[in-house]
Amino acid sequence: AQTVTQSQPEMSVQEAETVTLSCTYDTSENNYYLFWYKQPPSRQMILVIRQEAYKQQNATENRFSVNFQKAAKSFSLKISDSQLGDTAMYFCAFMRKNTGNQFYFGTGTSLTVIP
């Protein structure tokens, strides 16, 4: 079974500052995909960023970037210039290649951006 661990249940950050959310995973696979999802208080889950394990370059999406360390099985999310709208629950997810797109989710990190 795949396991995804998010060791920070809650975090806070001052507006305009940078914050990093951690995620580690356990797998014996070599080809897989990693995702960060955001769930604002309105509860609709949306994709933040996606990483393919065979790509060494870290994915970036505007203020969001990841630090993917394959050997360490680590996949952290960095949010730069934090905004109030970034307040949400963040979930890390793992997907093996060619498995019917089944995701394995971490337990989530609740991020609060403080004005």
Residues that bind other proteins (CB under 8 A): 6, 9, 33, 35, 37, 42-47, 50, 52, 91, 95, 97-98, 100-103, 105-108
Other residues' Cβ atoms within 10 Å of the Cβ of residue 108:
18
> At closest approach, how far in Å is the CB of 108 from other proteins?
5
Are residues 49 and 36 in contact, defined by beta-carbon separation less than 8 angstroms? yes
> At closest approach, how far in Å is the CB of 105 from other proteins?
4
Q: How far apart are CA 93 and CA 100, in angstroms?
A: 15
Identity of the residue, 23 or 113, whose beta carbon is nearer to other proteins in the bound complex: 23
Identity of the residue, 57 or 115, whose beta carbon is nearer to other proteins in the bound complex: 57
Identity of the residue, 50 or 73, whose beta carbon is nearer to other proteins in the bound complex: 50
Identity of the residue, 6 or 82, whose beta carbon is nearer to other proteins in the bound complex: 6
> At closest approach, how far in Å is the CB of 53 from other proteins?
9
Are residues 109 and 10 in contact, defined by beta-carbon separation less than 8 angstroms? yes
For 86, the 3-state DSSP assignment is helix
> At closest approach, how far in Å is the CB of 76 from other proteins?
17
Residue the block writes with tokens 């089944």 = 102
Are residues 109 and 103 in contact, defined by beta-carbon separation less than 8 angstroms? no
